[in-house]
Amino acid sequence: MKNAYAENSCSTFDIQFGDKSFKYYLYNDFENITERLSDLEDIDSFVILSDKNIGGIYGQDIVKRIRKNYRCELIIFECTEKTKNLTVLQEMIEKVISLKATRRTCIIGLGGGICGNMAGMVAALLFRGIKFIHIPTSLMAISDSVLSLKQAINSDYGKNLIGVFHTPEMVITSTEFLKTLPKKEIISGLCETIKNVLTILPENIERLSDILNADCSYTGGNYRYFIEMSVKAKTQVMKNDAYEKKGALILEYGHTIGHAIELAGGGIVTHGEAVGLGMLCAAEISHMLGHLPDKDIKIHRTLLEKAGAPTAIDGKINADTILSILKYDNKRGYTAVEEGTVQMVLLDRVGKTFNHSILTAVPMELVMQAINRMYMK
**Helix, coil or strand: residue 305:** helix
- Dist CA 47 CA 330 (whole Å): 30
Instruction: Name the active-site residue from 95, 150, 232, 239.
Output: 150
* Selection from 309, 314, 52 nearest residue 183 by Cα: 309
Give the CA dihedral 278, 284, 286, 291, nearest 10 degrees: 140
- How many helices (H) and strands (E) the chain has is answered by 13, 14
User: In whole angstroms, how far apart are CA 71 and each of 47, 92, 230, 300?
Assistant: 9, 18, 34, 48
Beta bridge partners of 105: 45
- Dist CA 161 CA 329 (whole Å): 8
Classify residue 111 as left (phi > 0), alpha (psi -120 to 50) or beta. left
Phi, psi (deg, nearest 5) at residue 226: -60, -45
- Dist CA 143 CA 189 (whole Å): 7
195 is catalytic: no
Instruction: Name the active-site residue from 73, 185, 252, 262.
Output: 252
- Dist CA 250 CA 269 (whole Å): 23
- Dist CA 111 CA 144 (whole Å): 13
150 is catalytic: yes
E strand or H helix at 180: none
The number of beta carbons lying within 10 Å of the beta carbon of residue 168 is: 27
47 close to 108: Cβ distance less than 8 angstroms: yes
**Which residues form the catalytic set?**
150, 252
